[in-house]
Amino acid sequence: MISSGDSMAQADDESVLRDTGTPRDTGTLGKLMVLLDLVTHADAPLRFTDILALANQPRGTLHRQLGHLVEEGLIELDAEGRYAPGLRLLDFASRSWARNEFRLIAAPHLAALHRRTGETVHLGVLRGSSIIYLDKVEGHQPVRMYSQIGNASPCYCTGVGKAALSILPSDKLRELLPSLRFTRFTPATHVNAETLLVEIGEIASAGHAFDREEHEAGICCVAAPIWSDDGSFIGGVSVTGPAYRLSMELLHEWAVPIQVTARKIMDEMRIRLGPRR
């Protein structure tokens, strides 16, 4: 969830590139989305030859598709022939974030949790094998956080991710596990599905999850799952901070407030986003 250096961010980006580089049988739109994913998730601007090696598409087709994305402002081509995310994406992202009903419902509850703990609070949703951060309330202390709204982090080594996995139906969990590419970020990171499943069972019983310095050494968190009744939303809320300040004893004390916050958000979701006539 948190990073102190470029190596972890690069590992995350390479994982995304491997995922998005897989051919999709979804026609022109799907191929364009593969290219957009490659460019936006890359750690640095990509040259045409870089994208050609990753996208598994014919040279002529790739050139035309990149041209379309540039024309639409979704990616940009700099003077050195490198492709980078376009400014139009910022407009899409800002409008989506500002109008997201779930984020608006959760915002006051996140603020209340932040006031109680003084640490950074995250709200995330499970998408595929990643957690996408929808909102974040910064802690009072000056600790650099890698997590940003819109960023993706692996589900198997983050508190929000493991909390979300703990409430997945068993058939959905079995479908998801083969897609996980386990990367050892720290000595505490899960590196196989067997140990992850053991912890997911413990989380399901307890109702909360911990990140015990699994995504970055020195950073830990406690999290609780959040979900919609129809299963369209599965995610979680967490409190995160440096391990020297957040002992496991303190994280255990915050487990109940985290769960209460999650329940309040879900209760309000059911009222405001329930069946509409």
**Which residue in this structure is represented by tokens 């413990």?**
202
**Residue 91 scores a pLDDT above 80:** no
Specify the fold of 6-90. Arc Repressor Mutant, subunit A (1.10.10)
Q: Domains of the chain: which residue ranges?
A: 6-90, 100-272
Q: Domain 100-272, CATH 3.30.450.40 — does that match?
A: yes
Grouping H, G, I as helix, E, B as strand and the rest as coil, residue 115 is helix
* Cβ proximity of 93 and 76 under 8 Å: no
Residue carrying structure tokens 């491997």: 18
Helix (H) or strand (E) holding 126: strand 120-127
Q: Which pLDDT tens digit goes with each residue over 158-205?
A: 999 999 999 999 999 999 999 999 999 999 999 999 999 999 999 999
What does the block give as tokens for 45? Answer: 């601007």
- pLDDT tens for 19-44 read 433 444 457 777 888 888 888 878 78
Long-range contacts formed by 268-277: CB under 8 A, 24+ apart: 268/105, 268/109, 269/102, 269/105, 269/228, 269/233, 270/229, 272/101, 272/105, 273/101, 273/102, 273/105, 273/228
Comparing C-alpha atoms, which of 47, 33, 110 is closest to residue 83?
47
CB of 236 within 8 A of CB of 261?
no
pTM, 2 dp: 0.69
| Mean pLDDT taken over the chain | 83
Contact 192, 198 (CB under 8 A): no
